[in-house]
């Protein structure tokens, strides 16, 4: 469960998020759409506990984990070490269950994370987040810079975890088609404010959303 | 020939002591991004401590370990001053470490006075291929070799060492997985203090230590650390050995009063070469 009430986050005198209120129920997968500079990553970092709110509250049911924008791996360390450090909070060092989930990572275990392809790095970031045994997962730009087939593969894993383990997911995306495919509900964030929210089926029909995120056409 | 070999072996021992100071600089810089100008202070504190403890009749081994522990604690205190406050920039922290070094002068003068102090080390010497080398010099070489092996094992094989490497590699990602980067920085400062302290207890029997010996130590250590780009311990070790040998050769062949100038000269040459390499690289990228 993720519950955000009247959240304000500032960088010095600049306000990045203004009075954000959103909720993701336990086991639900919800999307947050927004253009560059909307404050999506600020919200992701706040939910992960990396930024302190100026006001408002953030409540997470259980342990949160973040897949940050741009993967943010430890490039000098091996895949196995990246995964092991993902278990820093949970105390779990053995990545075998992550290898069961993402067998490709077992093949890459000894390679340095910095030399992997973008898709492989995103898979490591995904596996690293799962090492903390999260109850709520915030995914910041899953599809950024990845080929559609790689994105689809990772999205399928995410949806599978949401269904099979009841993992709560907030999917922060610019790729509205992906978000609408995966989630039932979505919020739209612009310039630090939530401008609309609702079922994805309705948002896809909203002319403003279609114009801004779906190239003006609704599929 | 035997004179050359003697200077070479003694130079390697001097280089090893420099390497210990420099490795502390590298460990701290890798994890925190801070150039710690108080690094020489840790060696001085340990050297002065060991002279006092041995003077009180505390046995060898215990005295040295206690002095190194004090230096590690001094490193931790310097870390608290330099990075204890959140969001302190590395440049601000560098200035703080300069201040810590100056403050340490006052504390050391109050506690130990301003006269140089020494401590007994391993007595005697051995002859290797016709060259005489003091046993204490061999101890310095042995301890340094063991320390670098242990450092490599610590950073390469242990979970805590990898967490420290992670902080150096990507501090934001380290925070994402829950590592307290500031606490790791403090640990790096304590480790830097320990390495400086080791240098101090090993060097004090070879040359008297006073409150301002840190200048020579930090200049030499910084020259070696710059050789390793402040990030690569093994290259730093090589740089320190080259520096130690160059200084000892200069002293042995009649330029004994210019050892510090040799270190400074080499440091400037290395910095100019590295700066020009970076400039060339950036031109190739753009």
> What's the full length of chain B, in residues?
286
Beta-sheet strand order (sheet of A168-173): A64-67, A136-140, A168-173, A29-33, A185-190, A193-199
> What's the full length of chain A, in residues?
219
User: How much is the pTM?
Assistant: 0.88
Q: How many CB atoms lie within 10 A of CB A33?
A: 28
Q: Where are the beta strands (DSSP E) in A61-121?
A: 64-67
Are A140 and A69 within 8 A, CB to CB? yes
Choose from B178, B179, B181 for mutation: most chain A CBs within 10 A.
Answer: B178
Task: Select from B112, B74, B33, B106 the least CA-distant residue to B196.
Answer: B74
The tokens for B53 are: 């403890």
Give the rounded percent of residues in chain A with a pLDDT score beyond 90: 73
Flag whether residue A68 sits within 8 Å of chain B, measured between CB atoms: yes
- Whether residues B162 and A89 touch (CB distance < 8 A) is answered with no
Q: Where are the domains of chain A?
A: 1-61+138-219, 63-134
Query: Residue A5: pLDDT above 70?
Result: yes
**Interface subset of A 88-107, CB within 8 angstroms of B:** 88-89, 93
Flag whether residue A11 sits within 8 Å of chain B, measured between CB atoms: no
Flag whether residue B109 sits within 8 Å of chain A, measured between CB atoms: no
Task: Select from A71, A54, A173, A203 the least CA-distant residue to A125.
Answer: A71
Beta-sheet strand order (sheet of A55-60): A14-24, A2-11, A55-60
Residues in B touching A75 (Cβ below 8 Å): 169-170
Distance CA A38, CA A69 (A): 14
Task: Select from B8, B245, B19 the least CA-distant residue to B147.
Answer: B19
Q: Which domains does chain B have, with CATH numbers?
A: 2-285 (1.10.3470)
The tokens for A32 are: 């947050």
| CATH annotation of A1-61+138-219 | 3.40.50.300
Distance CA B171, CA B190 (A): 19
Sign of the alpha-carbon dihedral angle for B189, B192, B198, B201: negative
pLDDT in tens, chain B (286 residues): 578 888 898 899 999 999 999 999 999 999 999 999 999 999 999 999 999 999 999 999 999 999 999 999 999 999 999 999 887 898 999 999 999 999 999 999 999 999 999 999 888 888 888 888 889 999 999 999 999 999 999 999 999 999 999 998 999 999 999 999 999 999 999 999 999 999 999 999 998 999 999 998 888 899 899 888 888 889 899 999 998 998 888 888 876 667 677 777 777 887 787 777 665 555 554 4
Q: Where are the beta strands (DSSP E) in chain A?
A: 2-11, 14-24, 29-33, 55-60, 64-67, 136-140, 168-173, 185-190, 193-199
Residue that wins the pLDDT comparison between A207 and A65: A65
Query: Residue A204: pLDDT above 90?
Result: no
The tokens for B255 are: 């330029």
- Whether residues A89 and B176 touch (CB distance < 8 A) is answered with no
């Amino acid at each position: 469960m993720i519950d955000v009430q009247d959240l304000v986050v500032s960088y010095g005198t600049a306000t990045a998020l203004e009075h954000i209120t959103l909720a993701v129920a336990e086991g639900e997968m919800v999307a947050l759409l927004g253009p560059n500079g909307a404050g999506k990553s600020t919200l992701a970092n706040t939910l992960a506990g990396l930024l302190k709110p100026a006001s408002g509250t953030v409540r997470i049911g259980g342990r949160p984990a973040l897949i940050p924008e741009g993967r943010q791996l430890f490039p000098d360390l091996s895949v196995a070490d990246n995964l092991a450090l993902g278990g820093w909070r949970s105390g779990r060092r053995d990545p075998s269950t992550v290898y069961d989930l993402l067998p490709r990572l077992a093949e890459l275990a000894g390679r340095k994370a910095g030399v992997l392809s973008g898709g492989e790095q995103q898979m490591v970031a995904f596996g690293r987040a799962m090492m903390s045994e999260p109850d709520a997962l915030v995914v910041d730009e899953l599809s950024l810079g990845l080929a559609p087939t790689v994105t689809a593969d990772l999205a399928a894993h995410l949806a599978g975890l949401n269904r099979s383990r009841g993992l709560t997911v907030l999917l922060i995306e610019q790729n509205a088609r992906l978000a609408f495919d995966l989630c039932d509900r979505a919020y739209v964030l612009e310039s630090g404010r939530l401008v609309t929210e609702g079922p994805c089926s309705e948002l896809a029909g909203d002319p403003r959303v279609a114009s801004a995120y779906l190239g003006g056409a609704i599929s | 020939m035997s004179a050359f070999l003697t200077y070479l072996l003694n130079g390697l021992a001097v280089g090893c002591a420099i390497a210990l100071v420099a490795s502390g600089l590298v460990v701290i810089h890798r994890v925190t991004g801070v150039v710690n100008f108080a690094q020489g202070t840790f060696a001085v504190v340990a050297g002065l401590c060991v002279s006092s403890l041995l003077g009180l009749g505390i046995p060898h081994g215990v005295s040295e370990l206690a002095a190194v522990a004090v230096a590690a604690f001094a490193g931790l205190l310097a870390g608290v001053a330099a990075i204890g406050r959140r969001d302190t920039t590395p440049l601000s922290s560098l200035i703080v470490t300069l201040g810590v070094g100056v403050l340490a002068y006052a504390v050391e003068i109050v506690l130990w006075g301003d006269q140089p102090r020494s401590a007994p080390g391993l007595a005697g010497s051995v002859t290797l291929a016709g060259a005489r080398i003091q046993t204490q010099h061999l101890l310095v070489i042995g301890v340094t070799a063991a320390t670098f092996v242990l450092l490599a094992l610590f950073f390469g094989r242990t979970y805590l060492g990898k967490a420290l490497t992670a902080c150096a590699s990507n501090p934001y990602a380290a925070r994402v997985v829950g590592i307290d980067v500031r606490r790791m920085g403090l640990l790096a400062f304590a480790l830097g203090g320990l390495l400086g302290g080791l240098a101090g207890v090993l060097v004090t029997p070879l040359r008297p230590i006073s409150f301002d010996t840190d200048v020579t130590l930090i200049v030499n250590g910084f020259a070696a650390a710059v050789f390793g780009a402040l990030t690569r311990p093994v290259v730093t070790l090589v740089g320190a050995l080259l520096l130690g040998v160059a200084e000892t050769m200069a002293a042995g062949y009649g330029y004994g009063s210019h050892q510090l100038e040799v270190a400074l000269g080499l440091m400037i040459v290395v910095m100019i070469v590295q700066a020009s390499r970076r400039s060339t690289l950036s031109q190739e990228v753009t």
